[in-house]
Structure formats: C-alpha cells, structure tokens
Amino acid sequence: MFKGSNAAVLTRLGQVDVVQALPGLPDWDRLVAESEHYEVDALPVAVIARSTLIALKQQRGSHLDLADIEAIRMLDRLDE
C-alpha cells in the first residue's frame, strides 16, 4: 500500500479495513499497546481496540458508523 493509502479487503470472514491515515487516529505505538488480540485460523491477529474504534466512528458520525457502533456494543454485551 503505497504512500499511506487505505484499503478494504473482502475475506471469507468478512471485510477487513486497512487504514493508515485517519483524522484522530492515535499514533502507532498507542494503537499497538491498546490493541486486542485474537486468533484466526491458528494465526495471531492484533486489531484496533473496540473503544478506539468506537471513538473514531463517533467522530465521523455517518449512519453506517453509528450502526457499527451499536453492533460493537452488542458484541461487548455478549462478552459479559
């Protein structure tokens, strides 16, 4: 991904967004320190923390972002 572009990749598990630049995005060291860790097909995967993702989506505030926030909050309730 040349010169900091962003990309959306569709996988068999759903869409993966690769974002390298976004207003309000914390610096890399903070993103890594606060990342959530999962395993997909026996491979470790680090992803942006849900709280950071929600904050960024609230900042953008599109209808899709607001729907995403609700879906993330539903996942949080399932984890309880």
- d(CA 45, CA 22) in angstroms, rounded, equals 21
Q: How does pLDDT run across 6-18, given as a tens digit for each residue?
A: 888 998 888 888 8
The residues spanned by each domain of the chain are 2-79
CB atoms closer than 10 angstroms to residue 52: 18
Cα dihedral angle (29, 30, 33, 36), rounded to 10 degrees?
-120
Q: Which of 23, 30, 34, 35 is nearest to 59 (CA)?
A: 23
Over residues 38-44, mean pLDDT: 92
Q: Would you state the structure tokens that stand for residue 56, as one six-digit string?
A: 């960024």
pTM for the whole thing?
0.70
Average pLDDT over residues 15-39: 86
